Amino acid sequence: MMTEHEFEPTVTHATLKQIIDNVPMPCILRDAECTMLHHNKAAANMFACEADETDFTGEYEELSPPFQPDGSPSMRKYLVLMRHILEQGQPIKLEWLYCRRDKELIPTEVTLMRVEVGGEPHVLEFLQDLRESYQARLAEREVKQRLQVMMDSCPVTCGIVDAHFNVLEVNNVVMSLFGILNKQTFLDRFFELSPEYQPDGQLSRRKALDKLKQAFEAGRVHYEWLHQSIYGEQIPCEVTLVRVQLSEQNMAIIYIHDLREIKKSIEMMEKMESIAYTDELTGLFSRRYFVENATAALERAKANKEPFHLIMADLDHFKAVNDTYGHPIGDEVLKITAKRMTGVTRQGSIIARYGGEEFIVMLTGMSHDAALKTAQRIQKSMEESAITIKGMSLNVTVSLGIASHSDPTESLDDIVHKADVALYGAKRTGRNKVMEYENAKDLKW
């Protein structure tokens, strides 16, 4: 019974030659002594020879370099393969290095097949030129090498992910980022190094795939991501995905930037800003914050032709409180005064400690009468309720001056000055009262 790879024993050389001539790939017929009996035009073209058989026959060594890439002598290795195929009869597929007459090397995939011709064993040799394939492999290898160099020189964690967000490669920075001993841990456990859900409520795996899809469509995507170390420590990161093509497949370069130090710096800056804009003792706004925001509010009021008022307040005889009870008690008085002022002032107004025992209030979007009533509520809140500290009851009052914006050319300093004049008038005319600038400006001291 003949095998699927054998020809009919009665096949003639002429018939076989005709078959070989019509094979679309390079094909050679050899006898049991390795002598080339026939080849097709594709084989002649591959070896840069004329199609004429006499130009392309001869010793086998002419078609191969002396040695194969594995160090084996070409002739000896080929004879072993021929003997094997002739004895065993099963086809053999292997890679072989041929060479043309001009000595150009030709990496080739060879399939050897035994056939019976006139009852004698012969070998058919089918060749597939791998030069283009090798060039493609070399080009791809060069791309991968360049990518590897790029990743290794990158100061942030950098890697390659496939279309399923499997991490294929990563640089060594990942070990310090996650506190791991080797890169393989990151490759194998990427989604274990992220919480199940991201801070925005999305499943980590779902969000990663969505971002990868966006990168494939747009070429690049940038987003924040929460990683975690193997010990559960949260690692806020900034991630960039850049689309690349490797092995004719869409992949992405992933850059992971650790934001912990940046966030610490931001938190420190916010804390410093809070200190600069908040009075540490009373919790009210600082003078600096007041000046910056009141200046902007005054400009808006001018542009929109809206009212703008300032109230200056100063505790009466506060020096006597400090001298009699000490500064710690005086500090408590300032804290309680700040709370009372906040409690009787409309939400949205700016109240600041202006210095020492002096406070300032900015009021917008209300009439002069409404602003005057606010000042009167502050005065009454201090006058009508004694301040109790450590069992002591202290009667502390406050004097207030109020001024309103009335001239388009006025600056904030101008209005502060008017409110200060009104406050001075309240002090000089008995204290524990509210005085308007219009009533104080003409007083004779």
Characterize 186-200 residue by residue with b for buried, 16 or more Cβ atoms within 10 angstroms of its Cβ, and e for exposed.
Answer: beeebeebbeeebee
CA atoms within 13 A on the CB side of 283: 9
Contact indicator for 381, 339 with CB cutoff of 8 Å: no
Of 236, 300, 231, residue with least CA distance to 263: 236
Contact indicator for 333, 327 with CB cutoff of 8 Å: no
Dihedral angle sign, alpha carbons of residues 41, 43, 48, 52:
negative
Dihedral angle sign, alpha carbons of residues 37, 42, 48, 53:
positive
**What is the SS3 assignment for 328?**
helix
Neighbours of 146 (CB within 10 A): 10
For residues 60 and 110, give the distance between their C-alpha atoms in angstroms, rounded to a whole number: 15
Question: Is 4 noted as a catalytic residue in this protein?
Answer: no
Of 330, 326, 327, 375, residue with least CA distance to 349: 375
Checking DSSP bridges between strand 434-436 and strand 350-355, what pairing results, if any? Answer: unpaired
Q: Which residues does residue 159 pair with via DSSP β-bridges, in sequence order?
A: 170, 254
R_g of the chain computed on alpha carbons: 46
Catalytic residue from among 357, 358, 410, 436: 357
366, with CB counted inside 10 A (0-12, 13-18, 19+), is middle
Catalytic residues: 357
